[in-house]
C-alpha cells in the first residue's frame, strides 16, 4: 500500500512539473518554427552520430584491454578445440562485419543529414547492388550454419565405445554426486524412490535388486583419467539443473525423470593445467585480489582467505534455487595410473550398504 501511494505521489509530481514547464513555454515570446529542425539541429545530430560511433569502438577496445584476460583458458578436452575454433571464427566474421557496417551506418547518417533545399533522390532499384548484398550474406551465413551443424553433430554424437568410462552425474539442490559404473562398466538401475533405503546411505538411489549396481562407486569429487573418453549420464533428483564443465567446453541439462548424455575426452591433467602460463597468470591475479581482501578481513579481526589454487570445476548452470551459486564439484584430471589408484581406494555400493 505504501508503495502504491508513493508511486501515485511521484506520478502526480511528474504531471505537475510537466504542466509547469508548459505554462512556462507558453509565457515565452513565440519563436519562429521552434518545433521543426533547422540546419544547425541536423548538423548537431549528425555529429552526435559520429560521436556515438567513436564511443562504441572505444568501449569495445577498452573491454578487450580491460577484461581480455578473464576469458577461459585453452580447452582441456578433445572436442573443445573444434568448439573454440567455431566460436572464434564466428566472432571474427561478426566483428569484421559489424565494424564496417556500423561505420557506414553512422557516416551516412551524418552525410545525408537534413539540409534546407536538399532534395532526396528517387532511386527505384539497382539489381547488381541487391544481388551483392544478398549473395554475400547468404554465402557467409550458409557457411557458418553448415560449419556449426557439422561441429555440433560431431560433438553431440555419443558413439558406442566399450573402452569409455561411464560416469553418472547426479544433481540435487544443491550439490553434485558422481557414480562410476565399476568393473562391469554398467551403471545399476536407480530411482529416487530408493533414496531412503539403507538409512540414507544410498546417496543416488541405486536399485539394490539390480546386480549391476553393486560394484558402482558413488563419490563427491569427480576424478577423470586423461586421454580416455568419458560418457556422462546426467540425472536430477528435484528440479532442472545443468552440468557445466567450462574448461572442457561441456554443458548438458539435468532433467528430473530422464537421463541426458554428453561425452568428452579430457586431455590435460589438473597438474599440467596449473603449470600453464595462462593459469599461472590468472591464479596470480586472483591471489592479489584475495590478499587485499584478506588484509581487510584480518584488520576486522576475522579469519583471512586461503590462497587460491586452480582446479577444474563442475558447476550448475541453471538457476535452481537459493544456493545455486554454490552448487559445484571439484574435478581432478589425472594420469590413468593415478586414476586407477584413486579408484581402488573408493568403496563400492555393496561395501557401503554392508
Ligand atoms: Cu542446480
Distance of CA 318 from the midpoint of ligand 1 (Å): 6
Q: Which residues of 140-166 are buried (b: 16+ CB within 10 A; e: fewer)?
A: eeeeeeeeeeebeeebeeeeeeeebbb
- For the question of whether the overall pTM of this predicted structure is more than 0.85, the answer is no
Distance of CA 169 from the midpoint of ligand 1 (Å): 12
Q: How far apart are CA 282 and CA 28, in angstroms?
A: 62
- pLDDT, tens only, 245-284: 999 999 999 999 899 999 999 999 999 999 999 999 999 9
Q: Which residues surround ligand 1, an ion (CB under 5 A)?
A: 241, 316, 320, 327
Task: Report whether pLDDT(354) > 80.
Answer: no
Asked if 266 and 101 touch (Cβ cutoff 8 Å), the reply is no
The band of 117, judged by pLDDT with boundaries at 50, 70 and 90, is confident
Report H helices in the chain: 2-27, 39-67, 78-111, 127-156, 270-275, 277-299, 336-344, 349-352
- pLDDT, tens only, 175-230: 999 999 888 778 888 888 877 777 777 778 887 787 787 788 889 999 999 999 99
Q: How many helices (H) and strands (E) does the chain have?
A: 8, 10
- pLDDT, tens only, 21-74: 888 888 877 666 567 778 888 899 999 998 999 999 999 999 999 998 888 999
Distance of CA 234 from the midpoint of ligand 1 (Å): 12
Distance of CA 129 from the midpoint of ligand 1 (Å): 51
Distance of CA 320 from the midpoint of ligand 1 (Å): 5
Distance of CA 336 from the midpoint of ligand 1 (Å): 30
Distance of CA 316 from the midpoint of ligand 1 (Å): 5
- Tell me, what's the pLDDT at 215? 84
Amino acid at each position: 500500500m505504501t508503495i502504491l501511494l508513493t508511486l501515485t505521489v511521484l506520478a502526480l509530481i511528474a504531471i505537475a512539473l510537466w504542466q509547469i514547464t508548459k505554462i512556462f513555454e507558453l509565457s515565452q515570446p513565440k519563436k519562429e518554427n521552434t518545433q521543426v529542425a533547422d540546419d544547425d539541429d541536423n548538423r548537431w545530430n549528425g555529429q552526435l552520430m559520429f560521436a556515438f560511433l567513436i564511443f562504441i569502438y572505444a568501449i569495445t577496445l577498452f573491454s578487450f584491454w580491460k577484461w581480455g584476460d578473464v576469458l577461459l583458458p585453452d580447452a582441456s578436452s578433445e572436442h573443445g578445440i573444434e568448439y573454440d575454433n567455431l566460436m572464434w571464427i564466428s566472432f571474427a566474421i561478426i566483428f569484421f562485419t559489424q565494424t564496417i557496417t556500423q561505420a557506414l551506418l553512422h557516416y551516412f547518417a551524418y552525410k545525408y543529414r537534413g539540409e534546407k533545399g536538399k532534395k532526396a533522390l528517387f532511386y527505384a532499384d539497382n539489381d547488381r547492388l541487391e544481388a551483392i548484398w544478398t549473395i554475400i550474406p547468404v554465402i557467409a551465413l550458409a557457411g557458418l550454419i553448415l560449419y556449426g551443424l557439422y561441429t555440433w553433430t560431431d560433438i553431440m554424437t555419443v558413439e558406442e565405445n566399450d573402452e569409455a568410462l561411464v560416469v553418472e552425474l547426479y544433481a540435487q539442490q544443491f550439490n553434485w554426486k558422481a557414480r562410476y559404473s565399476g568393473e562391469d562398466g554398467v551403471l545399476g538401475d536407480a530411482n529416487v524412490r530408493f533414496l531412503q533405503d539403507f538409512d540414507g546411505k544410498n546417496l543416488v538411489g541405486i536399485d539394490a535388486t539390480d546386480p549391476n549396481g553393486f560394484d558402482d562407486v558413488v563419490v563427491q569429487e569427480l576424478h577423470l583419467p586423461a586421454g580416455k573418453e568419458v560418457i556422462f549420464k546426467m540425472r536430477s533428483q528435484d528440479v532442472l539443473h545443468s552440468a557445466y564443465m567450462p574448461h572442457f567446453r561441456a554443458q548438458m541439462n539435468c532433467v528430473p525423470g530422464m537421463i541426458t548424455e554428453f561425452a568428452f575426452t579430457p586431455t590435460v591433467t589438473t597438474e599440467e593445467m596449473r603449470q600453464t602460463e595462462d593459469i599461472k597468470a590468472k591464479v596470480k591475479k586472483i591471489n592479489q585480489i584475495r590478499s587485499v581482501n584478506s588484509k581487510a578481513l584480518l584488520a576486522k579481526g576475522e579469519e583471512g582467505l586461503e590462497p587460491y589454487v586452480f582446479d577444474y570445476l563442475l558447476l550448475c548452470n541453471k538457476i535452481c534455487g537459493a544456493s545455486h551459486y554454490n552448487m559445484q564439484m571439484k574435478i581432478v584430471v589425472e594420469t590413468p595410473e593415478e586414476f586407477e589408484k584413486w579408484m581402488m581406494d573408493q568403496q563400492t555400493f555393496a561395501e557401503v550398504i554392508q
